């Protein structure tokens, strides 16, 4: 980066009071840190290890397999695909992955930016339509650090973590065994993806 004390840029959005959003209008946030935060650092380590072991990109291989299977895909276009990953913890958690191996948002071309925006719009519309309510979530991009080093294994992607479970008011809580032991799934990733796929691409307020 242009400022040598900035090593990582985190772009994220908290939507809804349930996720701590303090302003009701749509907005995202950009934070910068002098170190690589824990979650992206762990992902970077695993992606680099996979590249050494397999000679290819982990998320390139993963999203290709998901697109071929289709059962966990929510929406897809020429450039990006949104899936409910098999390791999902939150009921309707989603992962948005680009088909091309781009390392950061700055690497995307105009058509890819449009493709990403369309997948995000389709996914969040289906979220809202699921319970006909503005669907709360925390969302963020994981991309290559800006610390002057190279990260050839890094593949740009976005995580969506929504807490709602069975209705507009029933949410999942990470407490008890899930906090102290390990997360438990309430529905399968395949069921969650199917329920989102069956939602209309037209927002419920526009019907």
Query: Could you write out the DSSP letters of every residue in 38-51?
Result: HHHHHHHHHHHHHH
Q: What is the pLDDT of residue 159?
A: 98
Encoded tokens for 200: 């209309």
Q: Is residue 86 part of a domain?
A: yes
Res. 41: pLDDT tops 70: yes
Would residue 18 count as lying in a domain?
Answer: no
Residue 20 inside a domain? The answer is no
Question: What pLDDT score was predicted for residue 20?
Answer: 64
Whether 159 is catalytic: no
User: Would you say residue 91 lies in a domain?
Assistant: yes
The residue segments making up the domain with residue 134 are: 37-206
As a whole number of angstroms, the distance between CA 146 and CA 5 comes to: 10
Helix axis angle, 110-131 to 189-197, nearest 10° = 100
Long-range contact pairs involving 57-66 (C-beta distance under 8 Å, separation at least 24):
57/101, 57/153, 57/155, 58/153, 58/155, 59/97, 59/155, 59/157, 60/101, 60/155, 62/97, 63/97, 63/98, 63/99
Q: CA angle, 148 as apex, 57 and 41 as ends, to 5°?
A: 50
For residue 19, the model assigns a pLDDT of 64
Between CA 186 and CA 172 the distance in angstroms is 9
Residue 21, pLDDT score: 67
How far apart (Å, rounded) are the C-alpha atoms in residues 3 and 170? Answer: 44
Backbone angles phi, psi at 101, to 5 degrees: -80, 80
Neighbouring-strand partners of residue 138: 14, 161
In a domain, 198, yes or no: yes
More confident residue, 93 or 28: 93
Answer with the residue of higher pLDDT: 10 or 28.
10
Q: In the chain, how long is the greatest CA-to-CA distance?
A: 50
Instruction: Answer yes or no: are the C-beta atoms of 19 and 137 closer than 8 Å.
Output: yes
Q: What is the pLDDT of residue 23?
A: 67
Residue 53 covered by a domain: yes
pLDDT at 113: 98
How much is the pLDDT for 174? 83
pLDDT at residue 24 greater than cutoff 90: no
pLDDT in tens, 75-108: 999 999 999 999 999 999 999 999 999 999 999 9
Question: For residue 169, what pLDDT is reported?
Answer: 84
pLDDT at 18: 62
DSSP for residue 186 = S
Q: How far out from the chain centre does Cα 47 lie?
A: 16
Rounded CA separation 29/72 (Å) = 29
Residue 43 has pLDDT above 80, yes or no: yes
pTM recorded for the entire structure: 0.93
61-84 per-position pLDDT tens digit: 999 999 999 999 999 999 999 999
Give a yes or no: residue 28 inside a domain.
no
Q: Which one is catalytic: 27, 35, 79, 159?
A: 27
Angle between helices 38-54 and 58-69 (to 10 degrees): 80
CATH code for position 82: 3.30.428.10
Number of domains in the chain: 1
In a domain, 19, yes or no: no
- The pLDDT tens digits of the residues spanning 150-206 come to 999 999 999 999 988 888 888 888 888 888 899 888 899 999 999 999 999 999 999
């Amino acid at each position: 980066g242009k400022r040598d004390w900035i090593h990582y840029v985190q772009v994220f959005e908290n939507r809804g009071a349930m996720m701590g959003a303090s302003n009701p209008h749509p907005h995202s946030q950009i934070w910068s840190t002098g170190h690589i935060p824990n979650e992206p650092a762990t992902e970077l380590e695993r992606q680099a290890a996979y590249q050494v072991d397999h000679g290819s990109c982990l998320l390139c291989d993963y999203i290709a397999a998901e697109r071929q299977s289709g059962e966990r895909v929510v929406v897809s276009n020429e450039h990006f695909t949104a899936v409910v990953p098999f390791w999902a913890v939150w009921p309707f958690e989603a992962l948005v992955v680009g088909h091309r191996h781009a390392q950061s948002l700055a690497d995307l071309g105009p058509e890819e930016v449009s493709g990403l925006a369309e997948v995000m719009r389709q996914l969040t519309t289906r979220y809202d339509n699921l319970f006909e309510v503005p669907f709360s979530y925390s969302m963020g991009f994981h991309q290559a650090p800006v610390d002057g080093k190279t990260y050839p294994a890094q593949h740009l992607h976005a995580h969506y973590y929504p807490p709602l479970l069975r209705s507009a008011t029933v949410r999942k809580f990470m407490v008890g065994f899930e906090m102290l032991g390990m997360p438990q799934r309430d529905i399968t990733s395949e069921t969650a993806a199917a329920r989102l796929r069956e939602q209309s691409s037209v927002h419920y307020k526009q019907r």
